[in-house]
Amino acid sequence: MSQYTIDRSKVVIKPKQYVKVKNDIFRITQTIDFETVVGVNIKTGKAKSILVHEIKNIIDKNEIISNEQDVSSYTDTQWQEIERRFEIIKPLLGVSTTKEDIETVAENNNIHFTTIYRWLRNYRISGAITSLLKQKPGSEVGSSRISQIADMLIEKTIEEYYLTKQKPCIQRIIELVHIECHNKNITPPSKNTIRSRIAKISNEERLKKQGNKDIARNIYSPAAGSFPHATNPLSVVQIDHTLMDIILVDDENRLPIGRPWITLAIDVYSRMITGYYLSLEPPSEASVALCLTCSMLPKDKLLLQYEVDADWPVWGIMNTIHVDNGADFRSDSLRKSCLSYGINIEFRPVGKPNFGGHIERLIGTIVKKVHSLPGTTFSNISERGNYDSDKNACLTFKEFEKWLLLFITKVYHQKKHSSLGMSPLQKWEDGIFGTSEHTGCGYPTKPNNQDTLLIDFLPIFNRTIQRAGVNIDGLNYYDNCLRPWINHISSSSKQKEKFIFRRDPRDISYIWFFEPQLKQYFKITLADQSIPPISLFEYKSVKSTLKTQRAKITSSNVLLALEEMQHHVKASASVSRKIRRQKQRKDNIKEQLTIKKTPITNSTNHEDDLWDDDVEAFD
């Protein structure tokens, strides 16, 4: 049994910051580049170069992490309160603050200044937005120093009088609120409280509702090639999927297996690609999750695994992800996972293609380059003509992924961008480190723990725990840590309590169980451990086979079906593309879940092919 403590803390990398490297504490004195900083060991006083990916946060685990829960365990009311508190302290984050700054924020929001201190302290230590909910026993979430009626009167007066074409002055709004409070015999809020509430209204909303929609559109609607609020690296990251125009072949027989899907993420400010997820499976919530985790984590191991001699200096937690309106982006689990790291989700407005232009142009650039590879399907039948995509296909999944990494790091990031006037890499560096004309934003914050990040974004299941363990999709999982919760009755609903489980679709031979008292994750394996590691798509095939045979889903039947399918794969390897594709999916998943011990070597040198043709300027 593996148990795992949640660590959502963030690593802040800047001069004068204290960090942990292995078992030593260092004070950062200088930033060199994206891979290296200089730090002084506080025990020895000696300075040394430190690799960024080795830096960890210094935290008091007993104080903050013990308060962490699975992000889905918070109620909607609690999430609203978390977001409210975060909006209050947001102006104090990332800047030097004085006592006067904190007292001003406290007064404007009608909150005691010591409460603001406490929220700031919890957030700065843990880096997790959920730490803002930590409170003294007996306090109620959402409690306010003004009455709920007064709070509602402020909102109502602003909506009905201030946000109108009459445009009354703020003093008039204060008078109206106080009159309403007097009529209802309640204590009126302070003038600063009302002013603060009005100040939170965006200028765009104010212009639109006060009769200036055209002005608002001219100022805030994006023109082609531009995007609002993308003022720094990782301010806004756009994500989308596409089916690649190329036929790949299997590793064993070099026979066609079909086209891969890719999920891509791009930093709007610099046009740098922040991450991707390549798969033979159609897009899903898991595709988004794995693309996001790739975006936020350093790429050193990935490049080493594929023996790509290049830099990809993009990592860190983004402020906003911008996505389309697909179901895979609208799940409640994804929303809460993003919020737990302070990531805002914005959806593309319907009928406004400019808002998604950057990711679409990136996809177009990559797709066009793919059309020069053997096995391409081109964009349509007219372009393909008499070209036989299956016959010319020669790249395996791993070889194509290496080609993709080479293109991203050695071509796309390096080539001058027509809209930027420089390469995406140069724009990224200027945004981070600054130029003679503007100050850089500094290193982005980095997740302290890779495993917590991945678990937080995995698909979630709520299940009761029975004597046989927990059942998900017909499979039983069991471990002794589940025993205290067997047939447990919820104190609130008086029914069997449902607990939180998370599952990686690439390997469903185990799940993660969130233990609500210890606030730790436990790795729970299949009750029948004779079943080998199996992906979700393999298991769906097994269920389909058993359904055809009218057999029950039992451990022994699952094993027999897996054996039968394996024999069928070997017998049909040279005949059926569908069978080969199934086998290749299995091989790809094994590859993704483990770091290769030997470097990948292509049968042909596709790195040289990158430079054979000119890459047209992209925007």
Sign of the CA dihedral with 415 first, then 417, 422, and 424 last:
negative
Is a pLDDT exceeding 50 seen at residue 136? no
Q: Per-residue pLDDT tens for 516-558?
A: 888 889 999 999 888 888 888 778 877 777 777 777 766 677 7
- pLDDT cut 70: percent of the chain above it: 82
Kindly report the pTM of this predicted structure: 0.69
Distances (CA, A) of 614 to 204, 364, 368, 583: 43, 15, 12, 36
Residues 6+ apart with CB under 8 A from 607: 403, 406, 410
Residue 234's pLDDT is 95
Beta-bridged to residue 37, according to DSSP, are 31, 50
CATH 1.10.10 residue ranges of the chain are 148-220
Looking up tokens 């977001």, which residue turns up? 83
- CATH 2.30.30 domain span(s) along the chain: 2-56
Contact 21, 55 (CB under 8 A): yes
Spatial contact of 430 and 313, defined as CB atoms under 8 Å apart: no
pLDDT-derived band at 134 (thresholds 50, 70, 90) equals low
What's the pLDDT score for residue 65? 42
- Give the pLDDT score at 67: 47
Report the pLDDT averaged over residues 195-210. Answer: 81
**Sheet containing 55-56, strands listed edge to edge, beginning at the edge strand earlier in sequence:** 47-51, 36-41, 24-31, 18-21, 55-56
pLDDT of residue 569: 55
User: Facing residues of 276 across strands?
Assistant: 264
Is 617 a residue whose pLDDT tops 60? no
> Can you count the helices (H) and strands (E) in the chain?
21, 21
- Retrieve residue 466's tokens: 């029975």
Supply 175's token pair: 């008078």
Give me the architecture of the 148-220 domain, per CATH.
Orthogonal Bundle (1.10)
CB 393 within 8 A of CB 376: no
The residues near 295 (Cβ < 8 Å, ≥ 6 apart) are 237, 265, 274, 275, 314, 315, 318
Among 98-112, 403-417, 424-438, the minimum mean pLDDT is found in 98-112
Average pLDDT over the chain, rounded to an integer: 81
Pairing of strands 236-243, 320-323: parallel
User: CA–CA separation, 137 vs 498, rounded Å?
Assistant: 25
Task: Specify whether the CB–CB gap between 416 and 319 falls below 8 A.
Answer: no
Q: In whole angstroms, give the CA distance from residue 83 to residue 353.
A: 29
**Per-residue pLDDT for 148 more than 80?**
no
> What tens digit of pLDDT does each residue of 18-71 get?
889 988 999 999 988 888 999 999 889 999 999 988 898 876 544 444 446 777
Q: Which of the 8 DSSP states describes residue 528?
A: S
Query: pLDDT digits over 334-376, tens only?
Result: 888 888 888 888 887 765 555 558 889 999 999 999 998 998 9
Percent of the chain whose predicted confidence (pLDDT) is above 90: 31
Q: CATH 3.30.420.10 region(s) of the chain? A: 236-451
User: What's residue 598's pLDDT?
Assistant: 41
CATH architecture of the domain with residue range 2-56: Roll (2.30)
Q: Which two tokens stand for residue 4?
A: 């795992």
Element at 291 (helix H, strand E): helix 285-296
- 236-451 fold: Nucleotidyltransferase; domain 5 (3.30.420)
